[in-house]
Amino acid sequence: MTTLGQKGRFGLLIGLLILMLFGISLRAGAAPYAAMVIDARSGEVLHSRNADTRLHPASLTKMMTLYIAFQAVEHGEVTLDTKFLISKKAAAEPPSKIGLRAGQRVALRYLIRAASVKSANDAATAIGEGLEGSEAAFARRMTRTAEALGMSRTTFKNAHGLTENGHMSTARDMTTLGRHLFYDYPEYYNLFSRMSTSTMGKTVYNTNRRFLGSYKGADGIKTGYTRAAGFNLVSSAQRGEERVIATVFGGRSSAARNAKIAELLDLGFRRAPTRVAVRKPRKPAYVKGGGNAPVAMATLESPSKAPQSGDGIYKGKTIRLQRAVLKSIRPMRRPGADEPAVSEELLLALSVEIDDVVKTEAAKAAETKAVEQVVLASVQPLARPQDEEQTIPGSAGDLEMAIREESGGFTATGGPALARVLVPKRRPQRSEPVLASAKPIKEVSAAPVQFAAAHAATAPMPRTTIEPAPEQPRVITRVSTSGGKHWGISLGKYTSRYKAERVLLKTALKEMETLDGSLRKVANRKGGFEATFLGLSAEQAQNACARLSARGTECRTMEPGNG
């Protein structure tokens, strides 16, 4: 009995030892833990642990894939409707996936939805290949963009985040990326808070929907999981004026990860001040693919000094604010856009009209003064060529009436009481004569004898012949009927004042020559916040809308009193 008891105790001891060793091996193989919490408004670090340790980011990688997609759309590299060809490699990516087929063409907007909400690996690969031609080239662009964002310890090897040698990041770098997504592209940020979305005729559900539905104020951002990484999450939440971003690496399960991220966010809200100055992160320079180093395009002094694309630098658009635009540049179609091209005839017409409007302030002032002098001098009869005047003979004395056609209407000259009268004329119909379009001219034409006799009694004058003035340069203009600078243009309605002001600012920078001196105003109207420019003349409003419409921007003119 004693011997058996000793053997049993020995066996139990051996079993416990094996379990302990097994347990230690499990813990040793678990993904390392790291965490980071910041105040999103100021960027202040509220908590960190192993924040600079290089770890596997898993599908947090897709935040960078999406950031570059948003950047490419913003800079006109592609549009949301550009269709990407799905390769065999993209279609063969392991789950999570949306089920793309090789040879299929899918619009970028649907790939973005699938990658952000469903965390689809095939969609992420398709985005990378569509923008750079290959996933390897896109990964190099991702790394360059990470460096431009200040993510100094991040290296990307693919667009989706599946485990690959050298594909590493840190909790600090991923927190930085999440903050840039929120501030740099607020118009797309709502994607990360959607519980579900529709893409390619399918309804897909957010991989982060459990946490979004359970934590008050949570509105993003991205989950990730691989065996090497564990359960990762970058989350953002807002309560009142406070916004906190927290990141966790190495969760043991999705439930444990969600519990930990909730704990970190609670800690952040406790430590974050109620009021703090908002310091938005600096938006990086646009870095296009094809090279080996990031390029800040604004640092190029002149196009002649810029290396060619083979050296890794791509020429970008340059806006020189210190110079006035002397010639209108025809707006070019964005590559890959599906909308119909604007005809050359229309572009030429727009260029001519817009060039006529672009004048210096000195020229405008001189023109206005010239018009005033013409009006003040109108008390004296002005000579016109014989083919531009009509003489109505009178029956009382030798009174003479002359009606001349001018650019703004008809001018009648005669006695002192009717020295010069400018009658506005409307556009004549095909079937009616020009002189019959204004009521005062009708009366003169119908009864010239009575009209002449009435004025002959009070102001008789001898019949004289006006000699034509010698030929000299003339400034031909027309009296404005626009009601002064009381016109405006509307760029449409938006869901928030921020979006409307952002559109106004971007439009003002692009159209400085046509919108110079106008007033930007956001009007809170039924259906949203309307972005408008006010204080324009009729010509300015019409030509501004013509230019904006040619660029694909919604625009309508606003008449005085109808704003």
Catalytic residues: 59, 62, 119
- Which amino acid is present at 74? E
> Who's near 207: CB < 8 A, 6+ residues apart?
59, 96, 117, 118, 119, 223
CA distance 272 to 82: 42
Buried b (16+ CB within 10 A) or exposed e, 2-34: eeeeeeeeeeeeeeeeeeeeeeeeeeeeebebb
User: At a CB cut-off of 8 Å and minimum separation 6, what does 173 contact?
Assistant: 146, 151, 152, 153, 154
Name the token pair of 364: 């405008």
* Whole-number Cα distances in Å, 374 to 208, 308, 419, 420: 73, 57, 13, 11
**Cα radius of gyration (the chain):** 36
What residue type is assigned to position 170 of the chain? T
Cis-peptide into 261, omega within 30 deg: no
Q: Between vectors from CA 415 to CA 412 and to CA 417, what angle results, nearest 5°?
A: 90
Q: Per the structure block, which two tokens stand in for 415?
A: 């006695």
Within a 10 A sphere around the Cβ of 451, how many other Cβ atoms? Answer: 20
The Cα 544–Cα 240 span in angstroms is 40
Separation between Cα atoms, residue 533 and residue 300, nearest integer Å? 33
**Identity of residue 385:** P
Contact 331, 185 (CB under 8 A): no
With a CB cutoff of 8 Å and minimum separation 6, the contacts of 562 are none
Which among 477, 466, 464, 471 is positioned nearest to 382, based on CA atoms?
466
